[in-house]
Amino acid sequence: MESNVRTVVAATDFSDRAERAVHRAAQLAAAHGARLHLVHAARRITPAPAWGGAGVDVWLDESKVTARLQASLDGLAASMASQYGVQTSSALVDGNTRELTAQAEGADLLV
């Protein structure tokens, strides 16, 4: 019998609990021959000094933070593809419900 599940979307905040949910989503995607789409919602950083201690202020670089988050998300997607043999994709979205919900549109299963 052919499955109706073609796309599984999993949101992650990179916590241990989220990692377990992503693994379960990958297992479900593999069982149904579906694609796994990983999403992380992050709020944009408002430029502000972060105190580096000893009176040294360090400015947070949004592009570096975004690049690190995307690299983490891509690494997680690659790991799931390797471990479970599923096609994966990923998206880093602005940290609001509307953007996260838009990623789930068309999904057959949301984890």
Q: Which amino acid is at 31?
A: A
Q: Which amino acid is at 107?
A: A
* β partners of residue 36: 8, 88
* β partners of residue 103: none
- Structure confidence at residue 72 (pLDDT): 96
- Structure confidence at residue 87 (pLDDT): 98
**Nearest to 109, CA basis, from 36, 16, 14:** 36
Residues of the chain with pLDDT under 50: 55-56
